[in-house]
Amino acid sequence: MIVCVPSRGPTVESQMDDRFGRAAFFAFFNTDSGEVHVAENPHAGGSGGVGPQAVQFLVQNGVTTLIAPRLGGNAEEALVASKIQVIMQNPDVTVVQAFQTWKDNAGISA
Amino acid sequence: MQIVIASGKGGTGKTTVASNLAFVLSQKQSITLCDCDVEEPNQEIFFPCDFKVQRVHVEVPLILEEQCVHCGSCGEFCRFGALTVLKDRVLFFPQLCHSCDGCFRVCPTDALKKQQIDVGELLLCNPSDTLSLIIGRLKEGDTRTTAVIRAVRDMIHTVPLVILDSPPGTACPFIETVDAVDLCVLVTESTPFGLHDLSVAVDVLSLLCIRSVVVINRSDGNDKIIEEYCSKHQLPILMRIPFDFKLLCAQNKGLLISQEDSDWFERFSLLGDQILTYSTGAL
């Protein structure tokens, strides 16, 4: 499975972003292969519709689980339809800390 | 000839000027008055009429899932985020769609069908043989202001002389109203707020390469704040309309001051002639 964490910076040591649609970067953790990469959010500067566009970006990257800060209405609607599992996380942690917390609790649904 | 009456700051007197100008000019020639302030049109207050109603529509996509192969092309193309392509279906967010038509063009399997959405109406009438009125009115709660303004402007391509009452501000509705017109008359007031919003409007018009002139409304004789700005930017001040309770009372009753008072008729007649002269580029 592929777990996504919004990030303020280009590495997993960066702080988790407190936004979803306008997050600066997205970190992707592949729990099967162990592969990790951080990509720039292509729609971060958009004036509108960034929530659905971010969901589309996640779907294109095969995301199954999103560790999320607060979510806007359109983003929430798109996420529910996409069947991506959403785990709420206070963004006062680093990206890798957020992933680790989820991993440690894996199997407990939020 | 298309002449816009605008302001920048709201409440300076666009509708007062536009309605009286239209009335006065219609005494000598055929003229059309458009109300492009489609979120809150008010010209019908001054020209009560039996209006003919014409609906205004925009086109949005309807997704035909049986034909969709979920290639993602429409979602990639849409810069407004209105289409989200998931693994097994496509989500459409109507409130984000700008009806640009792009998604229909990029879909490889004809899976998007054009669907009409009602966004407002045009109210049409002829208060006299020489005066025609076109009022745009956006549906309450809808956000597609520019679509209704475009519908108003689509009605006047071949009309010889048109006055357009603009929305306030300098955002998309103003730009949709003023784009490619012959002249913009900026109605302002001699206050710091009036000056500030006037200067923003002037900057926008300059970027759009549209000629502008200024009318100072509610003048108390002390208009230095505007005069200095206009002098610096070489903007002609066509008239200082004095602050006048008789005018306020008449307009607030829904009457046209130029129809009630011969002095005011003369004043607006003079303003009208000057505007026509400036709009031909003669000055």
What are the residues whose beta carbons fall under 8 Å from the beta carbon of A97, sequence distance 6 or more? A16
The tokens of A21 are what?
Answer: 């649609």
Task: Quickly state the pLDDT bin for A109 (edges 50, 70, 90).
Answer: very low
- For the cut 80, the answer to whether the pLDDT of residue A27 exceeds it is yes
| CATH number of this structure's domain B65-110 | 3.30.70.20
Beta bridge partners of B219: B242
Chain B residues contacting A via beta carbons under 8 Å? 72, 75, 78-87, 89, 91, 93, 96
* Closest chain B residue by Cα to residue A56: B84
- For the cut 60, the answer to whether the pLDDT of residue A110 exceeds it is no
pLDDT given at position A107:
55
CB distance A21 to A10 below 8 Å: no
Chain B hits for A49, CB-CB cut-off 8 Å, are 78-82, 93, 96
**B10 versus B123: which is more confidently predicted?**
B123
What amino acid occupies position A18? D
Cβ contact A53–B86 (<8 Å): no
Cβ contact A48–B81 (<8 Å): yes
Write out the DSSP string of B227-239: HHHHHHTT--EEE
What are the residues whose beta carbons fall under 8 Å from the beta carbon of B220, sequence distance 6 or more? B190, B242, B243
Chain B hits for A78, CB-CB cut-off 8 Å, are 84, 86, 91
CB distance A40 to A60 below 8 Å: no
CB distance B110 to B79 below 8 Å: no
Domain boundaries, chain A: 2-105
3-state secondary structure of B180: coil
Q: Is A61 on the interface with B (CB under 8 A)?
A: no
* Other Cβ atoms within 10 Å of B189 Cβ, number: 24
Q: Which of A43, A49, A60 sits opposite B93 (nearest CB)?
A: A49
CB distance B97 to B117 below 8 Å: no
Strands (DSSP E) contained in chain B are: 2-6, 31-35, 52-63, 83-85, 90-92, 112-125, 131-138, 162-165, 183-188, 212-219, 237-242
State whether ipTM is beyond 0.85. Answer: no
Chain B hits for A45, CB-CB cut-off 8 Å, are none
* H/E stretch holding B246: helix B245-252
Task: Quickly state the pLDDT bin for B208 (edges 50, 70, 90).
Answer: very high
- For the cut 60, the answer to whether the pLDDT of residue B127 exceeds it is yes
> Sign of dihedral through CA atoms B187, B193, B199, B205?
negative
What are the residues whose beta carbons fall under 8 Å from the beta carbon of B9, sequence distance 6 or more? B168, B188, B189, B193, B194, B196, B197, B198
The tokens of B44 are what?
Answer: 């019908």
Integer angstrom CA distances of residue B166 from A35, B39, B176: 57, 11, 9
Q: What is the 8-class DSSP label of residue B92?
A: E
| CATH number of this structure's domain A2-105 | 3.30.420.130
Q: Is A78 on the interface with B (CB under 8 A)?
A: yes
Q: What is the mean pLDDT of residues B205-230?
A: 96
CB distance B206 to B25 below 8 Å: no
Tell me how far apart the alpha carbons of residues B95 and B237 are, in angstroms, rounded to a whole number: 42
Q: What is the mean pLDDT of residues B174-192?
A: 97
Q: Which of A46, A48, A52 sits opposite B84 (nearest CB)?
A: A52
Cβ contact A59–B96 (<8 Å): no
User: Judging by DSSP bridges, how do beta strands B83-85 and B90-92 pair with one another?
Assistant: antiparallel
**A16 versus B283: which is more confidently predicted?**
A16
Q: Which of A48, A56, A74 sits opposite B85 (nearest CB)?
A: A56
Chain A hits for B80, CB-CB cut-off 8 Å, are 48-49
Tokens 């014409």 correspond to B54
pTM for the complete prediction? 0.84
CATH topology for B2-56+128-279? Rossmann fold (3.40.50)
What share of chain A in percent tops pLDDT 70? 96
Cβ contact A81–B80 (<8 Å): no
Task: Quickly state the pLDDT bin for B283 (edges 50, 70, 90).
Answer: low
pLDDT tens per residue across span B93-126 = 988 999 999 999 999 999 999 999 999 999 999 9
Cβ contact B81–A60 (<8 Å): no
Q: Which long-range contacts (CB under 8 A, 24 or more apart) does A29-34 make?
A: A29/A2, A29/A3, A29/A4, A29/A5, A29/A99, A30/A1, A30/A2, A31/A1, A31/A2, A31/A3, A31/A103, A32/A1
Q: How high does pLDDT run on average in chain B? A: 95
Interface test with B, best of A22, A57, A82, A83 (most B CBs within 10 A): A82
Domain boundaries, chain B: 2-56+128-279, 65-110
Q: Which of B79, B80, B84 sits opposite A78 (nearest CB)?
A: B84
Nearest-CA distance A13 → chain B (Å): 30
Strands (DSSP E) contained in A8-68 are: 25-30, 36-40, 65-68
CB distance B258 to B227 below 8 Å: no
Cβ contact A60–B72 (<8 Å): yes
